[in-house]
Amino acid sequence: MRSYLAAALQMTSAPNLQKNLAQAEELIDLASRRGAELVTLPENFSFLGDEAAKVAQVAEIAEASEKFVKTMAQRYRVTLLGGGYPVPTAAGKVYNTALLVSAEGEILLRYKKVHLFDVNLPDGNRYQESETVLSGQQLPTVCHDDLLGTLGVSVCYDVRFPELYRHMAKQGAEVLMVPAAFTAYTGKDHWQILLQARAIENTCYVLAPAQTGFHNSLRQSHGHAMIIDPWGIVLADAEQTVGMAIAEIDPSRLAQVRQQMPSLQHRVFV
């Protein structure tokens, strides 16, 4: 592992596949021009805002999304995370799938979101992800990359389940990716503190690409795509505008924090 720049992109995706992919490419292009070698797209980067329309177009969305991630990674010579898109299943529902692809277009990781967001919020909004999504049944694996370090992937609501991240840390994770479309209501209180907790307790960098703003008349995302260092310090925050958080991933900083706070070595129950 060596030092490099990573980018957590922030989008306002809509129920329009082609419009979303065009927005995503603009941001990938910009991140590449700024020198990022690891670029991460948020959850639902290719389609967001209308569940019925998503299910009706799921085969097209899935095919276009995977092709897009592979093509963009090769075109811009970056390792690229497609942070979450629907993949149809035989049961008629979808898997919320994240895909990590190398600059050569090779699939490094494929992760199916495990924890599904079934919540009735006090602001009146109801989210029932399980109505259209099947839970993945496999714990996430990690990808060992000689240049970028050991990378782990999760998706959005997963961030509330620390055992998932400890599992990746036990596999040697150094960079944890948390692509999300966090709701505005929960995000204002929980988003940053949860990301910092996952970074601190696992002494890992955290990359959190995000959705922001309104996706239709009802659904609003919190924004604040972030990069956090292993001590829990926020290195970059995209606030609430379309754009990116970009920062250096520094192996010497990782080693320093893990030496100063060797909590992973002090685990009693493993």
* pLDDT, tens digit (0-9, with 9 covering 90-100), for 164-185: 999 999 999 999 999 999 999 9
In a domain, 17, yes or no: yes
In a domain, 269, yes or no: no
Q: What is the pLDDT of residue 218?
A: 80
Contacts of 259 (CB under 8 A, 6+ apart): none
In a domain, 21, yes or no: yes
Q: How many domains, the chain?
A: 1
Q: What is the pLDDT of residue 51?
A: 83
Q: How many CB atoms lie within 10 A of CB 67?
A: 11
* pLDDT, tens digit (0-9, with 9 covering 90-100), for 197-229: 999 999 999 999 999 999 987 889 999 999 999
Which residue among the candidates 37, 43, 51, 66 is catalytic per the annotation?
43
pLDDT along the chain (270 residues), means of 10: 98 97 98 98 94 91 98 98 96 95 97 96 86 93 96 98 97 98 96 98 98 90 98 98 98 98 92
User: Is 143 labeled as catalytic in the residue annotation?
Assistant: no
Please report, as a single letter, which amino acid is at residue 38: L
Tokens, residue 16: 């329009």
Q: What is the pLDDT of residue 126?
A: 86
Q: What is the pLDDT of residue 216?
A: 86
Strands 4-11 and 210-214: parallel
In a domain, 165, yes or no: yes
Q: What is the pLDDT of residue 122?
A: 85
Q: What is the pLDDT of residue 224?
A: 98
Tokens, residue 118: 């079934």
In a domain, 120, yes or no: yes
Range of the domain at 12: 4-262
In a domain, 267, yes or no: no
CATH of the domain at 102: 3.60.110.10
User: Is 43 labeled as catalytic in the residue annotation?
Assistant: yes
In a domain, 270, yes or no: no
Check residue 88 and give left, alpha or beta (phi > 0: left; psi -120 to 50: alpha). beta
Which residue among the candidates 37, 156, 174, 204 is catalytic per the annotation?
156
Question: How many Å from the N-terminal Cα to the C-terminal Cα in the chain?
Answer: 26
pTM check: above 0.85 = yes
In a domain, 268, yes or no: no
User: Is 19 labeled as catalytic in the residue annotation?
Assistant: no
Which residue among the candidates 113, 129, 174, 204 is catalytic per the annotation?
113
Q: What is the pLDDT of residue 125?
A: 80
